[in-house]
Amino acid sequence: MTSVAHLVEKTTEFVRDHVFPVEREIVADGRVMDDALRLELQKKAKEAGVFGPLSDPAFGGLGLDTRAQAQVLEAAGASLIGPLAINAWAPDDGNIHLLAHVANPEQRQRYLAPLASGEVRSAIAMTEPAPGAGSDPTMLRTYAEETDSGWVINGAKHFTTGAQGAAFTICVARTSDGPTMFLVDADNPGMTVGRRMPTLDHTSAPGGHCEVLFTDCEVSDDAVLGAVGQGLTLAQVRLAPSRLVFCMNWLGLAVRGHRLAVAHITERTGFGAPIAEHGLAQGMIADNEIDIAAARGLIKQAATTIDEQGPSSSQAKHETSIAKTFVAEAVWRVLDRAVQLHGGLGVCEDHLVARFLVEARAFRIYEGPSEVLRWSIARRALRVQK
Q: pLDDT tier at 226 (50, 70, 90 boundaries)? A: very high
Mean pLDDT of 81-108: 96
Q: Could you give the 3-state DSSP secondary structure of residue 126?
A: coil
Q: For the chain, list the domains and their CATH numbers.
A: 4-116 (1.10.540.10), 122-225 (2.40.110.10), 231-385 (1.20.140.10)
CB contact at 8 A, 330 and 101: no
pTM equals 0.95
| Alpha carbon distances (Å) from 7 to 3, 10, 20, 298, 372 | 6, 5, 18, 22, 36
Q: pLDDT tier at 115 (50, 70, 90 boundaries)? A: very high
DSSP state string for 296-339: HHHHHHHHHHHHHH-TTSHHHHHHHHHHHHHHHHHHHHHHHHHH
What is d(CA 316, CA 307) in angstroms, rounded to the nearest whole number? 9
- Apex 118 CA angle, 150 and 206, nearest 5: 85
**Predicted local distance difference test score (pLDDT) of residue 135:** 87
pLDDT of residue 26 exceeding 80: yes
**Predicted local distance difference test score (pLDDT) of residue 386:** 66
